[in-house]
Chains A and B, each alone.
Chain A
Amino acid sequence: MDWSRILVNVAGEIFAPTTAAYALAAIGLNVHFGLTGLLNMGQAGFMLLGAYGFAISTIAGWPLWAAVLVAIACAAVFGLLLGIPTLKLRGDYLAIVTIAAAEIVRLVGRSTALTELTGASSGLRGNSYKDTFQDASPFPDGTVALGPFEYAMNASNSWWVRIVGWAVVALACLLIWLLIRSPWGRVLKGIREDEDAVRSLGKNVYSYKMQALVLGGVIGAVAGIIYVLPRAVQPDSMGRPMTFFVWTILLLGGAATVFGPVLGSIIFWVSLMLIKSVMRVGVPESIMRTEQIEQFGWIVVGVTLMLLVIFRPQGILGDKKELAIDVR
């Protein structure tokens, strides 16, 4: 493997579907945490539900739009169910409940009792639910090379997934930009800063929090769909680590900003890829085995998260005065 190949691989991460999916998930989390101050530690649960909802209804023969609606509905109901017991409680309760609920989704999804529906721990194979999405592509089949990047036009890890994924990310950014400026967004920020002050203005804090939780969760579900389109629905690959990566991305880019999640996701995946491919070339097998390089990458992510929260909680784009992470 030579350096130009590494560079192409690393640059490919900038617009990879995974990067788009994580950016979108972080945008959803931004609605929860950045705008409203909700500590959602179960974003992967929303994503997994979205992925299941989409894949299962597609396999059942539903059209593309209906399958996406099912995914969105799943996330909305999940958000409502989570919000009812916890939104009146202190912030860390929501953290514990959301992380537990995401685990429940994963444990139930991988249970052998539901093998017919979810494929248990081996999950649902990508080819069983990709067809409707690929058929919706207006482009001809085949492989297209753009500069050094060469992907299939429609199949699996394709240009089509990239185009749709980043279009959705752009739409979500626009939505957040409009929301932040809207009266609704100002109430959310008020809740983040001082819940009691907003309550004293006669706003129904509980209802606003619930709306934010559901909206962010729905964005997460769409992210889940984009995440599984180039691969398979694997419950175990969408567990707690995924939530933590989304958090790292959000805090890296900057919570409560419009482009923070996108920038964070790009930096996260590009640097992870860079670290891993450089180490694969530069570190001899005798010092670090290939799978150890993988784990080394995740150790770096964990340490980055710690350092970020301690030394620069506002991230790259954020404003320290605006965002004070604190318990309410």
Chain B
Amino acid sequence: MRRAATRDRSTAGALAALGVLLLSLFFLLADPGTARAASAGCAADAATGCINGTIRTADQQPAVGVVLDVDGPGGASSATTDAEGRWTVAVTAAGEYTVTLDVATLPAGETLRDPAGNPRTVTVALGSSTGALFPLGAPPAGGSGGSDDAGADPEPGSTAPADGEVGAPTGSSDSGSFSWGRLAQQASSGLVFGVLLALASVGLSLIYGTTGLSNFAHGEQVTLGAIVAYVAVQSFGLPLLVAGVIAVLVGAASGWVQDAGIWHPLRKRRVGTTQQMIVTIGLSMALQYTYQFFFGGGALRIVTTTPTMVTLGPVRISATSLWSLLIAAVVLAGVAYFLLGTRVGRATRAVSDNPALAAASGITVDRIVRLVWILGAALAALGGVLMGLYLNATSWNMGGALLLLMFAAVTLGGLGQAFGALAGSIVIGLVVEMSNLVIPSDMRYAGALLILILVLLLRPQGILGRAERIG
């Protein structure tokens, strides 16, 4: 009787938590005009560089379906301009690339303004994007009245060095030139980044707390959310809101499947947590390459429209980021209420504290763990969608790149402490973005990881952890 009641409550609790998650996504589309993604970005990462550009006809219309061939040290590939005249090629080796525009594929009546500029050679560095310009229209000497920028522009900011792993958010690259305006700008980016990171790391922390497992495959849950949203928007043409809901649902389902299919049987077999941790590493590797298998190594942009920028005092921030911040804050508040205010939440914290004692006092530990997996994976998927929007693009290794930052956040807050993960994420977010002010931007993830090591040296239990012997 009592057990049945608990089950009902736990189901209700799970539904309530998911409801909060889903509801909050409605905010995302509350303003469809602004809740679109940010400027063209390229998920240039550690192993990828990008060459891109926009081709417009002489009368400023996008030139669709133009084929460009790229050849260089990373091999040959080709790209076709999309509905907005944009094209991107991801390359995996740095060096000189020859970009050839196939003149036969230009829209009828269009010619290159400068035929000598085709093919064009560009130098590509890994981790950044390079623009290649192919202006169309009559030669300027013809005096057609077209201004110089009538042709193709490399996309805004596309030549700025991209960030170490994922697409460059808002930070500018030149370090050293300090100003209060930049400080405010970086701090606000850091806050957004930290809160989005928190969505993912709270799940990681809850899973660690209840099962003792350091889940190295959690980053792939983040990528899963972003990729599902990408597929829903780009392949099925669904609105972003629906895509986000689907992503969170798929994330939750994947959490259930993972626990039911892998982790629950392993716990039953009494496989040690270290062994399980190595299993998560294998899983992470398999999942990452599965994503790459199906979606390739390039950047996947969930939405492709230009963002609306909002100016708040000294800070310029995209409307998408503001909505993401709001959604993340509401969801995190929901999670906090779930943990503090509901019976299931209290049971979760009890299991986190001492599984044996929790089991002895009538809590079904396995059910709580299952719930935590579902909740953690759903939160990670939401974090993935929002992070994919914030970074302008996602890619097969986005989650993998964020994983260590999540671990840094979780360790900083105290392993297994859900609120610690929240505080830790915001600190890590601020550090990552604000370290731009003093160190080169491609080293900023290293700064965050250094903090992780220093925390372990000075305060291994984390900010909110209790001082007890760990080890």
B340 touches A (CB below 8 Å): no
Interface 0/1 of A74-118, CB less than 8 Å to B: 000000000011101111110111011101101110111100000
Interface 0/1 of B385-411, CB less than 8 Å to A: 000000000000000100010011001
Interface members, chain A 216-275 (any B CB < 8 Å): 235-236, 239-241, 244, 247-248, 251
Kindly identify which residue among A236, A291, A304 contacts B46, using a CB–CB cutoff of 8 Å: A236
Kindly identify which residue among A89, A235, A305, A324 contacts B272, using a CB–CB cutoff of 8 Å: A324
Q: Chain B residues with Cβ under 8 A from A101's Cβ?
A: 449, 453
Q: Chain A residues with Cβ under 8 A from B94's Cβ?
A: 121-122
A15 touches B (CB below 8 Å): no
A143 touches B (CB below 8 Å): no
Kindly identify which residue among A113, A236, A305, A313 contacts B285, using a CB–CB cutoff of 8 Å: A305
Docked complex Cα distance between A86 and B455 (Å): 11
Interface members, chain A 109-147 (any B CB < 8 Å): 110-113, 120-122
Q: Are B442 and A107 in contact (CB under 8 A)?
A: yes
Docked complex Cα distance between A41 and B51 (Å): 34
Docked complex Cα distance between A106 and B281 (Å): 19
Interface 0/1 of B225-269, CB less than 8 Å to A: 000000000000000000000000000000000000000001001
A188 touches B (CB below 8 Å): no
Interface members, chain B 294-309 (any A CB < 8 Å): 296-297
Q: Are A104 and B275 in contact (CB under 8 A)?
A: no
Kindly identify which residue among A121, A307, A313, A328 contacts B275, using a CB–CB cutoff of 8 Å: A313
Q: Chain A residues with Cβ under 8 A from B274's Cβ?
A: 39, 91-92, 325-327
Chain B count of residues within 8 A CB distance of the other chain = 56
Q: Are A236 and B126 in contact (CB under 8 A)?
A: yes
Docked complex Cα distance between A182 and B279 (Å): 32
A310 touches B (CB below 8 Å): yes
Q: Chain B residues with Cβ under 8 A from A309's Cβ?
A: 275, 278-279, 282
Kindly identify which residue among B125, B272, B289 contacts A325, using a CB–CB cutoff of 8 Å: B272
Q: Are B456 and A93 in contact (CB under 8 A)?
A: yes
Q: Are B453 and A325 in contact (CB under 8 A)?
A: no
Chain A min CB distance to B416 (Å): 11
Chain A residues touching B, range: 35 or more
Docked complex Cα distance between A96 and B325 (Å): 28
Q: Are B46 and A120 in contact (CB under 8 A)?
A: no
Q: Chain B residues with Cβ under 8 A from A310's Cβ?
A: 266, 269, 271, 275, 279
* In the complex with contacts A107-B446, A327-B272, A251-B460 CB distance below 8 A: no
Main SS at interface, chain B:
helix
Q: Chain A residues with Cβ under 8 A from B126's Cβ?
A: 110, 121-122, 236
Docked complex Cα distance between A236 and B165 (Å): 11
Q: Chain B residues with Cβ under 8 A from A292's Cβ?
A: 293
Docked complex Cα distance between A121 and B284 (Å): 24
A106's closest neighbor in chain B, by CB? B46
Q: Chain B residues with Cβ under 8 A from A303's Cβ?
A: 282, 286
Q: Chain B residues with Cβ under 8 A from A304's Cβ?
A: 282
Q: Are B443 and A121 in contact (CB under 8 A)?
A: no
Q: Are A89 and B470 in contact (CB under 8 A)?
A: yes
Docked complex Cα distance between A212 and B438 (Å): 36
B401's closest neighbor in chain A, by CB? A103
Main SS at interface, chain A:
helix
Kindly identify which residue among A84, A110, A251, A305 contacts B457, using a CB–CB cutoff of 8 Å: A84
Q: Are A306 and B456 in contact (CB under 8 A)?
A: no
Docked complex Cα distance between A235 and B439 (Å): 19
Docked complex Cα distance between A99 and B126 (Å): 22
Chain A min CB distance to B257 (Å): 15
Q: Are A298 and B125 in contact (CB under 8 A)?
A: no
Q: Chain B residues with Cβ under 8 A from A97's Cβ?
A: 452-453, 456
Q: Chain A residues with Cβ under 8 A from B297's Cβ?
A: 291
A204 touches B (CB below 8 Å): no
Interface 0/1 of A292-328, CB less than 8 Å to B: 1001101101111111111001000000000011111
Q: Are B284 and A302 in contact (CB under 8 A)?
A: yes
Docked complex Cα distance between A103 and B126 (Å): 17
Chain B min CB distance to A115 (Å): 10
Q: Are A107 and B445 in contact (CB under 8 A)?
A: yes
B212's closest neighbor in chain A, by CB? A327
Chain B min CB distance to A266 (Å): 20
Q: Chain A residues with Cβ under 8 A from B452's Cβ?
A: 96-97, 100
Q: Chain A residues with Cβ under 8 A from B471's Cβ?
A: 88-90, 93, 328
Docked complex Cα distance between A121 and B283 (Å): 27
B111 touches A (CB below 8 Å): no
Docked complex Cα distance between A241 and B452 (Å): 21
Q: Chain B residues with Cβ under 8 A from A296's Cβ?
A: 289, 293
Q: Chain B residues with Cβ under 8 A from A108's Cβ?
A: 443, 446
Q: Chain B residues with Cβ under 8 A from A96's Cβ?
A: 214, 407, 411, 452
Residue of A99, A112, A120, A307 with most partner-chain B CB within 10 A: A112
Chain B min CB distance to A228 (Å): 16
Q: Are B443 and A113 in contact (CB under 8 A)?
A: yes
Docked complex Cα distance between A71 and B442 (Å): 25
B277 touches A (CB below 8 Å): yes
Docked complex Cα distance between A92 and B274 (Å): 7
B164 touches A (CB below 8 Å): yes
Q: Chain A residues with Cβ under 8 A from B404's Cβ?
A: 99-100, 103
Docked complex Cα distance between A91 and B104 (Å): 62
Docked complex Cα distance between A54 and B401 (Å): 28
Docked complex Cα distance between A247 and B157 (Å): 40
B175's closest neighbor in chain A, by CB? A113
Q: Chain B residues with Cβ under 8 A from A240's Cβ?
A: 400
Chain A min CB distance to B276 (Å): 8
* In the complex with contacts A95-B277, A111-B440, A306-B283 CB distance below 8 A: yes
B20 touches A (CB below 8 Å): no
Kindly identify which residue among B125, B284, B454 contacts A120, using a CB–CB cutoff of 8 Å: B125
Docked complex Cα distance between A112 and B175 (Å): 12
Kindly identify which residue among B269, B293, B442, B450 contacts A112, using a CB–CB cutoff of 8 Å: B442
Q: Chain A residues with Cβ under 8 A from B279's Cβ?
A: 305-306, 309-310
B440's closest neighbor in chain A, by CB? A113
B273's closest neighbor in chain A, by CB? A327
Q: Are A85 and B293 in contact (CB under 8 A)?
A: no
B292's closest neighbor in chain A, by CB? A295
Chain A min CB distance to B125 (Å): 6
Chain A min CB distance to B456 (Å): 5
In addition to A100-B408, A113-B442, A121-B126, 12 A-B residue pairs with Cβ atoms within 8 Å of each other are: A93-B456, A96-B452, A97-B456, A104-B449, A108-B443, A251-B278, A291-B296, A299-B285, A299-B290, A301-B285, A305-B285, A310-B271
Contact sample, A vs B, 26 pairs, CB 8 Å cutoff: A89-B460, A90-B470, A92-B214, A92-B274, A96-B214, A100-B453, A101-B453, A104-B449, A104-B450, A107-B442, A107-B445, A108-B446, A110-B164, A111-B443, A122-B126, A235-B46, A239-B46, A247-B281, A292-B293, A303-B286, A307-B282, A309-B275, A310-B269, A310-B279, A326-B272, A328-B471
List the 6 closest A-B pairs by CB distance, nearest first.
Answer: A302-B286, A305-B282, A302-B285, A306-B282, A85-B457, A121-B126
Interface residues of B (CB under 8 A from A): 46-47, 94-95, 125-127, 161, 164, 212, 214, 266, 269, 271-275, 277-279, 281-290, 292-293, 296-297, 400, 404, 407-408, 411, 439-440, 442-443, 445-446, 449-450, 452-454, 456-457, 460, 470-471
